[in-house]
Homo-oligomer: A and B are copies of this chain.
Amino acid sequence: MLHAVVMAGGSGTRFWPLSRQARPKQFLPLTGGAPLLVETVKRLKGMTTWVVCGKTHAPLVKKLVKSAKVVVEPQARNTAPAIALATAHVMHVDPEATLAVLPSDQHVADVPAFRAALETAAQTAAEGYIVTLGVKPTRPDTGYGYIRVGAPVGAALGVKQFVEKPDLPTAQGYLQSGEYVWNAGMFVFRAPVMMKAFEHHMPELYAAVTELRKTIGTRQYESRLKKLFPQMPATSIDYGVAERAENMAVVPGSFGWSDVGSFNALPEVRHVDSQGNVTEGQVITVDCQGCVVLGSKRLVSVVGMNDLVVVDTDDALLVLPKAKSQDVRKVVEQLKGNKKLNRYL
């Protein structure tokens, strides 16, 4: 039985002013349909689905995805503690379960291909591997981590190396070599295998989660969680386990994947008009190409611009070049540094 664990603890700011502290990226309908979290859960139809999220977002998660079991993190401590916590809960109901841990804020265009890759990964996981889904790169993107693949391991491939975001020449080399796939942050493993990996590579975390497991379903759980969770190192599963474990495997796939990383990525995942513009709401574009214009209640008119992002919300407006979409953080920094502007976060 495959248990899907959807990680919804993120609190990024790359979609400000759409995203706010109370409503981060995974809760936004960035593809023009349902919120990313809802679309993610839909993709996993038929699996037992768990969502890991922070306390403040739990009510919203329960409202959006009624079918899922919700696991609440007392605080955000990166992915390794979140996965440990979720694994503990899944093991409580199914000690031999296979888990598919998936980000809540990505887009997949080709769901059947994605499901097939998950299936292959689950088969490989059954043999004791921690399997990651790797996305075959379509461009020398410098915004993703890469995985260098090795020799076949059953229906999957071995992992030679996890590498951090490369510079452009390096990424171009990766693309040409055909030996690299994008690290999409998706992991499939049997629960006892991951616990073993924690024991080996993250003993502190293992000790905490092992103690916590004893209290699941008891009245002591909440208070033990509050004490033990902060003892788990705030480390990513990549750094804490994937880059160290010997039993890693990768299933390369092409399923129209996007991490929807910034406004710049929206043309990948949304309807693009004949001028290459993505628009939402009451929008007039004149002599515009390659723009992303997201309105809300106002009429938004953009004239004579190429590759511009305009995002209008009830109380805040953002204008920046599409290629500088990451620079939205510079605005967020100013908001954080100014008490009068805090309310826009």
Which residues of A pack against B, CB within 8 Å? 17, 284, 286-287, 295, 298-305, 308, 310, 312, 314-321, 324, 327-328, 330-331, 334-335, 341, 344
20 more CB-based (< 8 A) A-B contacts, given A299-B316, A303-B321, A305-B321: A17-B299, A17-B301, A284-B331, A284-B341, A286-B331, A286-B334, A298-B315, A299-B317, A300-B317, A300-B319, A301-B319, A301-B331, A302-B320, A303-B320, A303-B324, A303-B330, A304-B321, A305-B319, A310-B319, A312-B317
Determine the chain B residues whose CB is within 8 A of the CB of A319 once the complex forms: 300-303, 305, 308, 310, 319
Name the 8 nearest CB pairs between A and B, nearest first.
A303-B320, A299-B316, A304-B324, A301-B331, A286-B330, A302-B319, A300-B317, A303-B327
Given A284-B331, A286-B327, A286-B330, the answer on whether A316 and B304 have CB atoms closer than 8 Å is no
Distance to closest chain B CB from A329 (angstroms): 10
Give Cα A45–Cα B294 distance, bound, in whole angstroms: 48
Determine the chain B residues whose CB is within 8 A of the CB of A331 once the complex forms: 284, 286, 301, 303
Q: How many copies of this chain are found per oligomer?
A: 2
Given A284-B334, A330-B286, the answer on whether A320 and B304 have CB atoms closer than 8 Å is yes
Query: Which of A286, A310, A315, A317 has the most CB atoms of chain B within a 10 A radius of its CB?
Result: A317
Determine the chain B residues whose CB is within 8 A of the CB of A308 once the complex forms: 319
Residue of B nearest to A303 (CB): B320
B301 to A317, Cβ gap below 8 A? yes
B287 to A327, Cβ gap below 8 A? yes
Determine the chain B residues whose CB is within 8 A of the CB of A334 once the complex forms: 284, 286
Residue of B nearest to A338 (CB): B284
Determine the chain B residues whose CB is within 8 A of the CB of A324 once the complex forms: 303-304
Distance to closest chain B CB from A92 (angstroms): 46
What are 21 A-B pairs with beta-carbon distances under 8 A? A284-B331, A286-B334, A287-B327, A287-B330, A298-B314, A298-B317, A299-B315, A299-B341, A300-B317, A303-B318, A303-B320, A303-B327, A303-B328, A303-B331, A304-B320, A304-B327, A305-B319, A305-B321, A308-B319, A310-B319, A312-B317
Distance to closest chain B CB from A66 (angstroms): 34
